[in-house]
Amino acid sequence: MLILSCPCCGVSAEETEFTPGGEAHLKREGPGSEDAAFRDYLFQRKNPKGVHFERWRHAFGCGKWFHAARCTVTLEVFCTYTAQTANVPKEVIDTIKLRRPEWELNQ
Amino acid sequence: MSETVQVARLNSRGMITLKGDLADQDFQDVAVKITGLSFPSQREIRLSGEMGLAWMAADEVLLMLPVEDVSAAIETADEMLRRAPAVVANVTDARVLFSLKGKRSREVLAKLAPVDLSREAFQPGQIRRTRLAQVAAAFWMPQEAQFEIMCFRSVADYVTELLEMSAAPGTVPEYF
């Protein structure tokens, strides 16, 4: 069971109040892109063992989307942050490194 | 054996959803002018008689008022919000209200919602949007030992049965 804090309304609640939205920070491959790139955009997901970035929606609460950084092994939630960002913000990376010093983004 | 908690369905109350920039002064003025209540901060609700003003999301507030005043209020809001992009929607018929009354109403609700309902965590003046078992709902406390619960009209029967089951005599623990 995850406890997530919605950055849009400030509520901390368990995961049944939220809806998972899959991997975060995907780059859309639209018209004009290679078939292989489009295929990977649609179907290829990272599924890492360890730090993972995810989209979540506070479906039963304020209804807003946000991002969460968590560990897929221990289920520790490092932090949640705004969905209005294309890349992982530096403060999020710093927060994760406090808990996982050996971890690197895009490893 | 604790005293029973009373479950009741309340009469319809007029409801208007206002969506827009909550920091905008015009937006706040509309809500304040229609309800006569002060503008709520995050997850707060202001109440006075049939009037209510609730913070619903970072871009949404809910106005509650007597049903007969809704159309006039919507005209006022439309008039005042001409400058900025905003949504004014009459949602009176979309929702129903319930009340819980009794010393153990916190326990009755805590059995249904994944929310900390201890006295320290949840108090009169706060509003919480969450779920009751399988459906979306919101609740607040007009005063201690009393809750008002709002849910969609389409699930009103389900919520009626939920609340009655949760408040059934002999099933309410003395926890909080």
pLDDT in tens, A14-40: 999 999 999 999 999 999 999 999 999
Residue range B6-10+94-166, CATH number:
3.30.1360.120
- Å from A15 to nearest chain B CA? 9
Mutation target for B interface from A2, A8, A17: give the one with most B CBs within 10 A. Answer: A17
The tokens 């819980």 sit on which residue? Answer: B100
Contact B114 A16 (CB under 8 A): yes
Which positions of chain A have pLDDT values less than 70?
107
Contact B114 A62 (CB under 8 A): no
Contact B39, B54 (CB under 8 A): no
CA of A98: how far to CAs of A71, A78, A92, A104, in Å? 13, 9, 10, 12
For chain B, what are the domain ranges?
A: 6-10+94-166, 14-93
Please report, rounded to a whole number, the percentage of residues in chain A having pLDDT higher than 90: 95
**Would you say residue B98 has pLDDT above 70?**
yes
Distance CA A77, CA A71 (A): 6
- The pLDDT value given to residue A52: 96
Closest residue in chain A to residue B122, using alpha carbons only: A11
The tokens 């003025």 sit on which residue? Answer: B29
**Would you say residue B32 has pLDDT above 60?**
yes
Tokens of B173: 């623990």
Contact B129 A60 (CB under 8 A): yes
Tell me if chain A has a CB within 8 Å of the CB of B19: no
pTM: predicted TM-score of the whole model, two decimal places: 0.92
The tokens 């979540």 sit on which residue? Answer: A56
Q: Which residues of B touch A16 (CB under 8 A)?
A: 114, 131
Contact A13 B115 (CB under 8 A): yes
Tell which phi-psi region holds residue B115, choosing left (phi > 0), alpha (psi between -120 and 50) or beta.
beta
Per residue in B105-145, pLDDT tens? 999 999 999 999 999 999 999 999 999 999 999 999 999 99
Distance CA B40, CA A1 (A): 32
Q: Tell me which residue in A9, A13, A63 faces B42 most closely, judged by beta carbons.
A: A9
Closest residue in chain B to residue A12, using alpha carbons only: B115
Residue range A3-99, CATH number:
3.30.2270.10
The secondary structure element, H or E, covering residue B31 is: helix B25-35
| Fold designation for B14-93 | Alpha-Beta Plaits (3.30.70)
Q: What is chain B's mean pLDDT, rounded?
A: 95
Q: B121, exposed or middle or buried, with CB in 10 Å at 0-12, 13-18, 19+?
A: exposed
Q: Which B residues 51-70 touch A at CB under 8 Å?
A: 56-58, 60
Q: Which residues of A touch B58 (CB under 8 A)?
A: 8-9, 62, 64
Distance CA A104, CA A107 (A): 6
- The pLDDT value given to residue B2: 53
For chain A, what are the domain ranges?
A: 3-99
Per residue in B47-91, pLDDT tens? 999 999 999 999 999 999 999 999 999 999 999 998 888 999 999
- The pLDDT value given to residue B84: 81
- The pLDDT value given to residue B78: 92
